[in-house]
A and B are shown apart, each in its own frame.
Chain A
Amino acid sequence: MSYSSQSHWNSDLVKFGSVIGSTASGRFLAAEVAQEAFDRPQFIPPSRIGFSDHLLFNESMNIFASEDCEVDAGSWLAQISMQSSSFAAEIARRIGRNVITRRTLTEQPVRAEIDDVRRSRVLADLVSTGVQGLALSNRLRDLVEIAEDSDEPFLMASAENFAKFWRRISGLRRPSLILTPDGTLRAIWKKSNNHLLELEFLSDNRLRYVFFGPSRGAHVDREAGYVDVSTIVETRLSIARE
């Protein structure tokens, strides 16, 4: 293994678990998660990097023990998910549950930490759906960064609803994702300016949508409004499948 690939892998490990932060209890939880990873026989670290499970575990311990540990579970999970996507999703859920449960018992959770947990879950949910999900998680990460950089809103509930939607409805093409000025995610499937579907995922599980589509003759139907996620009609989604 070259020095550069080891360095790259270490960098990914350092990012592991933004949910955990730099608190002592957080590092303990991270250690638990790493232990679980080590104990799971189906866990396969990225072969292109070539670390064994044992080395991964030891390296994780060293990094989590450092005082300046800055970690991002989403990045790390995105890396390993290419090898073991279902495991990545499971570990993200477990991280989130542990952090929230333990913090509730001891002290009020810090909002930023919960947001990090939720964000990591969303990212892991997306990457667990495959290559398209990985691309969506990368775009989502980019949009989070834009929002944070500009002090603009980013509604995690909207991202969660999008991830749920993406997992629930199979066979869709990867949409473009944008972040609205209200902090909600909007997914866009566009064939032309006259044939498009835009779904904005609101916090209350509704969709704000725009649909432009061919009608009889040269006429173009244009609709916009609100609909419940569970009742988005298949005819409108057909553009997202073609």
Chain B
Amino acid sequence: MADVPDHDHILRLVSGGTIDEDRKSVNGTAFRMRDRDVQSGTGLSVNWIEHLAELTKSEAVAEIWSVQKRKLSGIRARHCLAELNVGKMRAYVAAKEVNRDLEVHHHPIQADDSKPEVVPDSSHAGIHGYMPEEDIICTLIAQAVDGLHDQSGGYEQFFFPDATD
């Protein structure tokens, strides 16, 4: 279980309802940890962009969209992938909530012949270090989102606050 390095980036699938009307922020509830995430030990499900090293960034994002659509039938046009820089997210949360050390670990999902419903997902990773009821952490993670990728290849950059905001 390797750590995803601080300079790398992760994507979290977020539903359209959790994106603000002005599309300039994602709500923290999109990062709410589930009991099953804790019990499975895989943390909050994300994808590690740089793991797909043979692809350009836009190709990697497209590949992650493709995997998500194979996993989940309910993905529609208003779903987005929220991008976070691992180091920035960890530093932001640690600065606001002292001693809170989030970690991002790689949890690749392999094909399993005995379970054809399992969709292989080599870049799958998980955010660790908080619990389902910790809405403050969810809100801080959401504030650290860099921007949103839509399914047509578009990207909307967010304003990232400095430490004094």
Contacts and interface: CB of A to CB of B under 8 A. Distances in A.
A15 B75 CA distance: 28
Contact of B74 (A139, A150, A186, A196): A150
A80 interface: no
Given A181-B32, A200-B29, A210-B28, A176 B76 contact: no
Contacts of B129: none
A193 interface: yes
B17 A176 contact: no
A180 B29 contact: yes
A223 B97 CA distance: 11
Interface size class of A (residues with CB under 8 A): 20 to 34
Contact of A179 (B17, B32, B133): B17
Give the interface SS of chain A, mostly helix, strand, loop or mixed: strand
Nearest to A144: B17
B16 interface: yes
A135 to B, nearest CB: 10
B135 interface: yes
Contacts of B143: 193
Contacts of A181: 15, 17-18, 29-30, 32
Interface in A128-176: 139, 142-143, 146-147, 149-152, 176
B139 interface: yes
Interface in B62-86: 73-76, 78-79
A188 B161 contact: no
A143 to B, nearest CB: 5
Interface of B: 15-21, 27-30, 32, 73-76, 78-79, 96-97, 133-136, 139, 143, 161, 165
A208 interface: yes
A143 B79 CA distance: 13
Given A222-B97, A222-B136, A178 B78 contact: no
Contacts of B20: 176, 178, 188
A179 B18 contact: yes
Given A139-B21, A224-B134, A178 B76 contact: no
Nearest to A183: B17
Interface in A180-219: 180-182, 186, 188, 192-194, 196, 198, 200, 208, 210, 212
A194 B75 CA distance: 32
Contacts of A194: 165
A108 to B, nearest CB: 28
A208 B135 contact: yes
Nearest to A200: B29
Contacts of B136: 210, 212, 222-224
Give 7 closest A-B pairs by Cβ, nearest first.
Answer: A179-B17, A224-B135, A180-B29, A146-B16, A151-B74, A178-B27, A150-B76
Contacts of B32: 180-181
Contacts of A151: 73-74
Nearest to B27: A178
Contact of B79 (A139, A150, A182): A150
Given A182-B29, A196-B139, 4 more contacts: A146-B78, A181-B17, A192-B165, A210-B139
A222 B16 CA distance: 26
A212 B30 CA distance: 18
A193 B75 contact: no
Given A194-B165, A224-B136, A152 B18 contact: no
A193 B165 contact: yes
Nearest to B162: A193
A146 B15 contact: yes
A212 B139 contact: yes
A208 B32 CA distance: 13
A150 B75 contact: yes
Contacts of B15: 146, 150, 152, 179, 181
